[in-house]
Structures are given as structure tokens and as C-alpha cells.
Amino acid sequence: MRILIIDDDTELCDLLTEYLTQEGFTISTCHDGQQGLTTALAGQHDFVILDVMLPGCSGIDLLRQLRRTSAVPVLMLTARGDAVDRIVGLEMGADDYLPKPFDPRELVARIRAIHRRGENGFGGRRTVPGKLTADDILLDLGTRTVFRNNAEVPLTAVEFSLLHALIKRIGQVVNREDLAQEVLGRKLEMFDRSIDVHISSLRKKLGHHVNGIERIKTVRSVGYMYTCS
């Protein structure tokens, strides 16, 4: 897997390059936001590790521009305790985040969890036969694409997996913790709103209602349920 690290901390980049190379990844680094964006848009990498604080172009701005044309998986590095950056990053299309400082083993675990979502660039698409439908939504499990009224809806790897997890249990309440384990490959941390932000993004992309019924219903203090008219 070819990973691009965009971070102005050269010492951290060197340490991560050494560690991730030992884990079997091929690593490239950029230390400037504009250079990082240009490199990421070239489409030569399968995964991006992106720091929020960058010279030349902030990580949030970089991600916003990247998501206009690319669905490459992105893991954002944020300052510990800075919930605003985490939420904004997820809203802009990041697949997950990791607060600094972190254990490199946790970084590898996050990368591999997103890898398992089956996004493009990890040796090709996974072949999963079948399709799921729910009112105006069709999920093609083989190509991991989603259509609403026959028009493709661009989703990140995590958003697709989250939608799949809900639709295959249509009409059932799914616990947030269960969704986190299935979709993010990890437990939710205290005050962790990752699942909630991804749900919000799905609602915006798919529409909040279908046939006058709320598409993804919030069950307070429990989780979410995909409804069907």
C-alpha cells in the first residue's frame, strides 16, 4: 500500500516512515500544504495521513479541495483534545482521525481498519456479490457504489460501510458502539462523535427524508435506524 504523509513535522515523518516501512507500507512525505495537495491529487497513493496544522494550506482546506475530485482514504492527525478540528475534518470527508501524540501501533491499526472497508486502491475492489435496495437507494456491494434514483452518490469508504451496516438491518436500531466496531474497527472514545458526524454526512448526501419519512432515524442514547417507507 502506498501511503502519503502530509505533515510539517519532519522528525515525526522520519519516524513514521521508518516504522510504517517495516510494516510493509511504501511511504512518501510532504511538509507543505500546497505541495501535499498537488501530490495527493496526482492519484499515485492509496492512503493519505494528513495533519491539521500545515504551512501553505491548512489540513482542513487541503481535505476540502481533495474531496472535490478524490475519494482516497484520509486519516487526519489532530491535536489532542481539539474536538473542533476532529469534527470539521470528518465533516469535510476524513475517514477517521487520530489525536497527537499517538502510538504508531494505533496508527497502523487505524490504517488497516480503513483498509478493510474495501475502498479502491488496496489491491483493487473486493468482489462482494449482490445488491441492496431501500426505497430510492441502491447499494452495489461488488463495486461499493451507491445510487439514489439511478444517480451515483459519491461516498467515502467509511460512509459506504456505515450505510451498508444500517440498510442490511433496515427497520432495526443499531447501537453506536456496534457501528463503531463494524465501520471504524475500534471502540468509541469518550465524547467521540465520529459515527454521529458520518451519519450527518450521509443524511446530507442522501436526503434527510424519503416519501415524507425520516431516512435515518436517531434513537436517543442508543444509536440509529434506517427506516423504509
Predicted confidence (pLDDT) per residue in 142-184, tens digit: 888 999 998 999 998 899 999 999 999 999 999 999 999 999 9
3-state secondary structure of 153: strand
Query: Which residues lie below 8 Å from residue 75, measured CB to CB, with a gap of 6+?
Result: 47, 48, 49, 50, 94, 95, 96, 97, 98, 107, 110, 111, 114
Q: Where are the domains of the chain?
A: 2-115, 131-226
The correct answer on CATH 3.40.50.2300 for the domain covering 2-115 is yes
pLDDT at 121: 34
pLDDT at 179: 94
Please state the rounded mean pLDDT for residues 214-227: 93
pTM confidence score: 0.73
Q: What is the CATH number of domain 131-226?
A: 1.10.10.10
- For residue 70, pLDDT beyond 50: yes
Query: Which residues lie below 8 Å from residue 151, measured CB to CB, with a gap of 6+?
Result: none
